[in-house]
């Protein structure tokens, strides 16, 4: 009902202001209303409705929302023709109520035409009496085709939604976001190993050394010492000291570290948390599964209908056509893991993720501290538990079967290659259960990179599953050989970098590393000369591949190199391979020792990459592998210490693993672990790794909150921040690998 002056600042008005010599600041600070008739005093003019019966009601807009819809956007009211200016900050506010209470409105500012991008969104839960909601965001675009909309669908039962005082004010000052970073003593908030390294970081202005104390849960001081001033840390911009309390080796829970008048968050000294994390990190994959109902008895709170099995509204992954013009067959590409917070399935990311999960198992067979029973049959509460196959292999097979289905069938053009990806035709909004996704699914063109990911992982699978299922092992090896031959015949077929609507592009024009990796896996499984020759003749074999960003879905050479170094084989010059891993580890060790936060990650120009939390872990994998090769304690300790950063010893004082640490990431971007948007949905399961700081902050939410952020600060635990806070199968694979390694060091 409140009236707000709608100010349209014309050029004349601006000039007039200048002529009357108003301070420039005042002109710039003028707030400009973008919404027409937001107060609904007598009419609902200027507003559209979709699948609701709406009208004016006592100076508000009220809408009767029908029950029985699935998606938020199935019922909505909104206003189009909103103009937004890139980089300008807006305050979006409204009053809203819902009867009965407890319904959610998805309030958005976005694009009124396809592809309906969302630039700001919020999903408050409504009460029967009107609540006031206000948000500040910075527009990531220039657009005259904006809209303000209130999506109210997705309820089984009808309800009544009322709205008032809708405002979108331009020209407001940007909000200064201050993350709550808690106490300045930064520790691994989960656990240190009793016999392992124990380090912490103190943020302080003090330049001289300071005393510290370690306290037991009972408050007794059990150790004390002095901090080491480390100067200004480039990754955070903070002046910091480091603390080494590794001399204390007793088990316990609820320790705190005190320095400079601050008390750290509590932590344990023990191995129990890592035994739990080793399992949780792999258990994550079951709730990422496509094509199967998730059993609530196995994952309480996470049960859901099978996604993409062809039951409406899904169009199903059982007979998926190609994008127009790409092929004229359909494939059954059901199953596999959803990549991340989206419903897409991508062979390159599926490949590296599967490799790292399988390698966790393979390491348990080859490393001196490996303990295969820890991920053996019956450990992960899977539908397959009890089948006498290690559970971790059962889980990886769910993805392997999908990867095999992505291969172009015999008799078709490009037979033997693998389709790059399968996903929705258009991006979908959040939240959205896999089984509720109504979009058309499409196969995207085969690529050399996807084909080699298939060759590598299927070859690795052939040797690991052989003791359990000879027929599957043979099928996998034959698919790997076909893929290899097809990749040699089509060595430079790349994904289109612009093919990023409805799913990620995952483009990669450098595939010599994928060739190397696939040849290495085929060699390790078959021992055949042709594959050894490819490995030995590849420039990648001797290249320095242990770079600051580490390995990733697009930089896969390390997967081949690490396996050649650790899986028994007779490759000529294998000693050099092992030494190259040690040399790589020495570099990461140098990085870690120089880093006051004790991590093996220092990207060039301090530019944290997308998924940096898993890059830290992958660099730690190289350290861990150097330990497995040499038995050198310095590599083991560095690998173990790398976990501290991920579990809370960082500038934000946050653990990037859900459910681990007093302050932990738990609002990751996901369409089905979307508790932040819908109280009826779960948070991500315990053991879910967040992407972590990303200097490029590609999403509008992060841009609003984190503009100008330095390294470690480029992160926010909000479901809207898909560029800093998603979950992904390749990221959890790095966590899986390292959690197992650390648990094995207990
Ligand atoms: O992790 C991927 C990152 O390396 C890329 O730079 C980015 C853009 O292509 O995509 C990331 O992967 C996302 C994918 O494209 C779609 N599913 C979610 C993935 C994680 O954010």
List, for residues 146-172, the tens digit of each pLDDT value. 999 999 999 999 999 999 999 999 999
**pLDDT band for position 29 (50/70/90)?**
low
Q: Tell me, yes or no, whether 350 and 255 share the same domain.
A: no
Query: Has residue 499 got a pLDDT over 90?
Result: yes
355 domain residue, yes or no:
yes
Q: Which residues contact 571 (CB under 8 A, 6 or more apart)?
A: 523, 532, 535, 536, 564, 577
Q: Tell me, yes or no, whether 261 and 331 share the same domain.
A: no
528 domain residue, yes or no:
no
Mean pLDDT of all residues in 46-60: 96
CA distance 133 to 106: 12
Q: Domain holding 480: CATH number?
A: 1.50.10.10
Q: Which residues contact 349 (CB under 8 A, 6 or more apart)?
A: 339, 506, 553, 728, 729, 730
Q: Tell me, yes or no, whether 690 and 601 share the same domain.
A: yes
With a 6 Å cutoff on the Cβ, whether 502 touches ligand 1 is no
With a 6 Å cutoff on the Cβ, whether 504 touches ligand 1 is yes
Q: Tell me, yes or no, whether 115 and 240 share the same domain.
A: no
Mean pLDDT of all residues in 5-18: 35
Model pLDDT for residues 539-575, shown as the tens digit of each residue:
999 999 999 999 999 999 999 999 999 999 999 999 9
Residue nearest to atom 3 of ligand 1 (CA): 610
Q: Tell me, yes or no, whether 330 and 472 share the same domain.
A: yes
208 domain residue, yes or no:
yes
Q: Tell me, yes or no, whether 501 and 633 share the same domain.
A: no
Mean pLDDT of all residues in 215-225: 98
From 486, 509, 532, the end of a domain falls on 509
CA atoms within 13 A on the CB side of 244: 12
Residue 115 has what pLDDT?
84
C-alpha distances in Å from residue 590, one per residue of 369, 548, 585: 24, 11, 9
Q: Do 242 and 598 contact (CB within 8 A), yes or no?
A: yes
Query: Has residue 9 got a pLDDT over 60?
Result: no
Q: Phi and psi of 120, rounded to 5°?
A: -155, 140
**pLDDT band for position 706 (50/70/90)?**
very high
Residue 174 has what pLDDT?
85
With a 6 Å cutoff on the Cβ, whether 610 touches ligand 1 is yes
Query: Has residue 27 got a pLDDT over 90?
Result: no
137 domain residue, yes or no:
yes
Q: Which of 362, 395, 718, 726 is catalytic?
A: 726
Residue nearest to atom 15 of ligand 1 (CA): 504
With a 6 Å cutoff on the Cβ, whether 495 touches ligand 1 is no
With a 6 Å cutoff on the Cβ, whether 340 touches ligand 1 is yes
**Which residues are registered as beta bridge partners of 62?**
55, 162
Q: Which residues contact 489 (CB under 8 A, 6 or more apart)?
A: none
166 domain residue, yes or no:
yes
Q: Tell me, yes or no, whether 112 and 48 share the same domain.
A: yes
Q: Tell me, yes or no, whether 659 and 732 share the same domain.
A: yes
495 domain residue, yes or no:
yes
Model pLDDT for residues 254-297, shown as the tens digit of each residue:
999 999 999 999 999 999 999 999 999 999 999 999 999 999 99
The string of DSSP codes covering 312-345 is TT---SSSEEBSTTT-S-EE----SB--SSSS-E
Query: Has residue 240 got a pLDDT over 80?
Result: yes
Q: Tell me, yes or no, whether 581 and 440 share the same domain.
A: no
More confident residue, 253 or 7: 253
Query: Has residue 22 got a pLDDT over 50?
Result: no
Q: Tell me, yes or no, whether 744 and 701 share the same domain.
A: yes
Ligand 1, residue 553: give the atom nearest the CA: 4
Respond yes or no: is residue 233 known to be catalytic: no
Model pLDDT for residues 397-449, shown as the tens digit of each residue:
999 999 999 999 999 999 999 999 999 999 998 999 999 999 999 999 999 99
Give the 3-state secondary structure of residue 302: coil
Q: Domain holding 72: CATH number?
A: 2.60.120.260
Q: Phi and psi of 104, rounded to 5°?
A: -110, 135
Ligand 1, residue 722: give the atom nearest the CA: 21
Provide the b/e sequence for 237-261 (b: ≥16 CB within 10 Å). ebbbbbbebbebeeeeeebbbbbbe
From 509, 534, 564, the end of a domain falls on 509
40 domain residue, yes or no:
yes
C-alpha distances in Å from residue 227, one per residue of 142, 198, 206, 645: 50, 13, 11, 18
Question: Among residues of the chain, what percentage have pLDDT more than 90?
Answer: 93
Residue 559 has what pLDDT?
98
With a 6 Å cutoff on the Cβ, whether 146 touches ligand 1 is no
- Total domain count for the chain? 3
Residue nearest to atom 4 of ligand 1 (CA): 610
**Which residues are registered as beta bridge partners of 150?**
77, 107
Respond yes or no: is residue 726 known to be catalytic: yes
From 459, 494, 509, the end of a domain falls on 509
Query: Has residue 28 got a pLDDT over 80?
Result: no
Round the average pLDDT of the chain to a whole number and report it.
Answer: 95
Q: Which domain holds residue 121?
A: 32-170
pTM for this predicted structure: 0.93
Mean pLDDT of all residues in 565-591: 98
Q: Phi and psi of 561, rounded to 5°?
A: -65, -45
Q: Tell me, yes or no, whether 718 and 628 share the same domain.
A: yes
Residue nearest to atom 10 of ligand 1 (CA): 504
Instruction: Work out the number of other CB atoms within 10 angstroms of the CB of residue 187.
Output: 27
Ligand 1, residue 731: give the atom nearest the CA: 1
Q: Tell me, yes or no, whether 487 and 609 share the same domain.
A: no
């Amino acid at each position: 009902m409140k009236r707000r002056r709608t100010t349209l600042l014309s050029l004349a008005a601006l000039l007039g202001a200048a002529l009357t010599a108003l301070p420039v600041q005042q002109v710039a600070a003028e707030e400009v209303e973008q919404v027409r008739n937001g107060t609904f005093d007598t009419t609902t003019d200027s507003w559209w409705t979709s699948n609701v019966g709406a009208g004016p009601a006592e100076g508000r807009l009220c809408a009767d929302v029908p029950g029985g819809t699935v998606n938020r956007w199935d019922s909505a009211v909104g206003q189009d023709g909103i103009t937004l200016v890139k980089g300008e900050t807006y305050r979006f506010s409204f009053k809203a109520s819902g009867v009965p209470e407890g319904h959610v409105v998805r309030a958005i500012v976005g694009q009124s035409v396809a592809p309906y991008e969302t630039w700001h969104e919020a999903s408050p839960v409504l009460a029967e009496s009107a609540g006031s909601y206000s948000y500040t965001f910075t527009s990531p675009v220039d657009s005259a085709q904006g809209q303000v909309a209130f999506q109210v669908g997705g309820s089984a039962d009808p309800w009544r939604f009322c709205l008032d005082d809708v405002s979108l004010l331009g020209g407001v000052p940007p909000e200064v976001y201050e993350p709550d970073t808690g106490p300045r003593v930064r520790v691994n908030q989960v656990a240190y190993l009793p016999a392992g390294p124990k380090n912490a970081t103190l943020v302080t202005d003090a330049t001289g050394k300071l005393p510290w104390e370690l306290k037991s849960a009972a408050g007794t001081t059990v150790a004390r010492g002095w901090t080491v001033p480390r100067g200004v840390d480039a990754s955070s911009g903070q002046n910091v000291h480091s603390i080494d309390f590794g001399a204390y080796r007793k088990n316990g829970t609820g320790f705190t570290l005190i320095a400079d008048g601050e008390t750290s968050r509590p932590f344990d000294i023990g191995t129990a948390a890592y035994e739990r994390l080793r399992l949780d990190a792999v258990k994550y994959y079951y709730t990422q599964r496509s094509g199967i109902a998730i059993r609530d008895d196995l994952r309480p709170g996470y049960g859901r209908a099978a996604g993409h099995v062809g039951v409406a509204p899904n169009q199903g992954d059982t007979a998926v056509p190609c994008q127009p013009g790409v092929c004229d067959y359909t494939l059954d590409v059901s199953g596999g893991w959803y990549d991340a917070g989206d419903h897409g399935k991508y062979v390159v990311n599926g490949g590296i993720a599967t490799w790292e999960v399988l390698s966790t198992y393979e390491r348990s067979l080859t490393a001196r501290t490996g303990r295969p029973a820890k991920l053996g049959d019956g450990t992960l509460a899977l539908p397959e538990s009890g089948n006498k196959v290690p559970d971790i292999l059962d889980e990886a097979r769910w993805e392997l079967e999908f990867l095999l289905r992505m291969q172009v069938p015999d008799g078709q053009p490009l037979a033997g290659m693998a389709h790059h990806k399968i996903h929705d035709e258009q991006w979908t909004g959040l939240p959205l259960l896999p089984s509720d996704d109504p979009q058309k699914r499409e196969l995207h063109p085969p690529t050399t990179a996807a084909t080699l990911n298939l060759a590598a992982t299927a070859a690795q699978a052939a040797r690991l599953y052989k003791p359990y299922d000879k027929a599957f092992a043979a099928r996998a090896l034959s698919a790997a050989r076909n893929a290899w031959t097809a990749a040699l015949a089509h060595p430079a077929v790349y994904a289109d970098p612009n093919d990023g609507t409805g799913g990620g592009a995952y483009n990669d024009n450098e595939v010599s590393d994928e060739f190397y990796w696939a040849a290495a896996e085929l060699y390790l499984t078959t021992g055949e000369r042709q594959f050894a020759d490819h490995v030995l003749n590849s420039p990648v074999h001797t290249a320095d591949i242990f770079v600051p960003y580490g390995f990733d879905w697009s930089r896969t050479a390390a997967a081949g190199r690490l396996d050649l170094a650790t899986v028994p084989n007779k490759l000529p010059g294998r000693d050099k391979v092992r030494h190259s891993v040690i040399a790589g580890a020495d570099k990461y060790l140098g990085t870690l020792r120089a880093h006051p936060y004790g991590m093996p990650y220092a990207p060039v120009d301090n530019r944290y990459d997308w998924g940096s939390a898993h890059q830290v872990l992958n660099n730690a994998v190289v350290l861990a592998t150097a330990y497995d090769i040499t038995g050198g304690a310095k590599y083991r300790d560095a690998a173990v210490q790398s976990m501290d950063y991920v579990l809370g010893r960082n500038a934000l004082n946050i653990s990037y693993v859900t459910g681990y640490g007093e302050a932990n990431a738990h609002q990751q971007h996901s369409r089905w672990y979307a508790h932040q948007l819908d109280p009826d949905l779960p948070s991500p399961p315990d053991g879910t790794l967040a992407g972590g700081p990303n200097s490029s902050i590609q999403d509008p939410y992060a841009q609003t909150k984190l503009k100008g952020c330095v390294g470690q600060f480029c992160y926010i635990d909000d479901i809207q921040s898909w560029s800093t806070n998603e979950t992904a199968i390749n990221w959890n694979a790095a966590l899986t690998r390292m959690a197992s390694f650390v648990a094995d060091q207990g």
